[in-house]
Chain A
Amino acid sequence: MDKADISGLPLRLEGDDVPMVSFKKVTKSYGNLVVLDSLDLDVAEGEMVTIIGPSGSGKTTVLRMLMTLETINSGVIYVDGEPLTHMERGGRLVPADNRHLRKIRSKIGMCFQHFNLFPHMTALENCMEGPVHVLGLSKSQAKERSEELLALVGMADKRNQHPSRLSGGQQQRVAIARALAMRPKVMLFDEVTSALDPEVIGEVTNVIRQLVGEHNLTMLMVTHQMGFAKDISDRVCFFFGGHIEEQGTPEELFGNPQKKRTQQFLSAVKEAV
């Protein structure tokens, strides 16, 4: 990583209005292929931001970098004011070590396109795994917390089933409960309905809708469900070619897109439906 790229970026974000998530000049490339080009993106606490765009535009990479599943090439990502990808050493930012990553990562939870539930554990055990083995909660505490969350996502009656016995929609709801059991401040939803049959998409989107109402969670979502994005987002970002081509409230972006590429993308999506 080139040190010059992060000079001038603060050791931490301070002030009254510190965003919950902040990307500063973040660049990601694989060899010669630039996936994200000097991305700046702030997400306020409690905000629901949806990322849309054609495939290959870098939208999933944004979430994966925030979950530390991908490293970044330059720039800094801040979570809750603290640097995630870096840490302070002698008044400077240096790449984060594993200990620092684990500390900051605890504020983030993620749901995946293919659910990724642990197949050798029941729904309840999936939810208890993190609280017991990462947070160090007692089994009874973890069970209580997990059962509450499984009830929230409407999966209480299936808590003793293994993932192989659950439909895709049911698995995704358990995965949401599993992520919430870690009490994250930021939730990431990476195309969580893309692998689902059309008739069960609603049960998952309804759960996410509920979270917007009930929890003061910061959420970042990548989706192809334009209607859903329009309904629940505070802000929608249209990604194209590794940068944010256009962003705004759902009304602005879907109702009156300014950029040509946004218009093209939205009309192409509309035709597909």
Chain B
Amino acid sequence: MSYLEFLSQYGDRIASGTLITIALTALAALLAMAIALAAGLMRMARNVAVRGVATVYIEIFRGTSLLVQLYWIFFVLPLFGITLEKFTAGFVAVGMNLGAYGAELVRGAVQSVPRGQWEAALALNMSPAKRMRRVILPQAVLIMLPSWGNLLIELLKGTALVALISVTDLMFQVKQINGTTFMSAEAFGTALVIYYVLARFMITPFMRWLERFMMRKMGRA
């Protein structure tokens, strides 16, 4: 079978797997950002308990394997009465894992906003929440965008693990195709190229665009 024949026969399954991978990536990214923001801000809280919760979360999810976390969420949580559908378990695991890395990006970026910005916001008598939301975070976002570009690529690649709990993503589809056709080079080669294209020609340009957009808002472009 030529590669063209291979594509025409299995193209549909590869395409549907790719769509699942994109959906997983998008949902996991949203979850990761929400968790990163919350945990990152909690890490800087004055309250020891609040800070402790965030620290423990970050330590656990950064310090253990994503695959083990995925298995925990899918196979162990049901024992405690929490059953997640496999697609949900997939993006939740990836989102929670990358969110822990993102939390440190948020904290680092917030702390690198110059001190004078806090002081000017306080001199305008802004409340702590307004200072954060209106003055500090918009500047912190610009600082952490390049690192988020890297993290999102990691996240995209991390979603391949969900094939192991039978989510029908790109990796799952090509494994199935390989199992029936033994055309390993074609199957895994195609997957390799698709992951690369998604990272290089979708995530990277999107982050570049976002950076330029934010720079324009700062009047710097």
Q: List residues of chain A with CB under 8 Å of any chain B CB.
A: 67-69, 102, 105-106, 108-110, 112, 114, 116-120, 122, 129-130, 133-134, 161-165, 175, 178-179, 182
Contacts and interface: CB of A to CB of B under 8 A. Distances in A.
B134 interface: yes
B125 A134 contact: yes
A221 to B, nearest CB: 15
A119 B130 CA distance: 16
24 contacts: A67-B122, A67-B123, A102-B127, A105-B122, A106-B125, A110-B123, A112-B120, A114-B116, A116-B116, A119-B139, A119-B220, A120-B138, A120-B139, A129-B134, A133-B134, A162-B218, A163-B219, A164-B218, A164-B219, A164-B220, A165-B219, A175-B120, A178-B124, A179-B123
A134 B218 contact: no
A120 B125 contact: no
Interface of B: 114, 116-117, 119-127, 130, 134-135, 138-139, 142, 217-220
Closest 3 CB pairs of A and B: A162-B219, A116-B120, A116-B116
Given A116-B117, A118-B117, A122-B219, A109 B123 contact: yes
B130 A134 contact: yes
A119 B120 contact: no
Most chain B Cβ neighbours within 10 Å, of A67, A106, A118, A164: A118
Nearest to A111: B123
B125 A102 contact: yes
Contacts of A119: 139, 218-220
B217 A120 contact: yes
Given A112-B119, A134-B130, A182 B125 contact: yes
A162 B119 contact: no
A69 B119 CA distance: 7
A27 B119 CA distance: 22
B219 A116 contact: no
Given A163-B219, A164-B218, A182-B125, A118 B130 contact: no
A210 B169 CA distance: 69
A188 to B, nearest CB: 8
Given A161-B219, A162-B218, A165-B219, A118 B135 contact: yes
A160 to B, nearest CB: 9
A162 B116 CA distance: 17
A194 to B, nearest CB: 14
B116 A112 contact: yes
Contacts of B217: 120
Contacts of A105: 122, 125
A108 B124 CA distance: 9
Contacts of B139: 118-120
Nearest to B128: A98
A109 B124 CA distance: 7
Given A120-B217, A130-B125, 9 more contacts: A67-B119, A106-B125, A116-B116, A118-B121, A122-B219, A163-B219, A164-B218, A164-B219, A165-B219
A112 to B, nearest CB: 6
A179 B122 CA distance: 11
Contacts of B134: 129, 133
Contacts of B138: 120
A11 B130 CA distance: 31
Contacts of B124: 129-130, 134, 178-179, 182
Nearest to A163: B219
A109 B125 CA distance: 9
B129 to A, nearest CB: 11
B8 to A, nearest CB: 51
A102 B116 CA distance: 19
A164 B126 CA distance: 23
Most chain B Cβ neighbours within 10 Å, of A67, A110, A116, A129: A116
A16 B98 CA distance: 64
A220 B43 CA distance: 38
B41 to A, nearest CB: 18
A133 B218 contact: no
Most chain B Cβ neighbours within 10 Å, of A112, A133, A163: A133
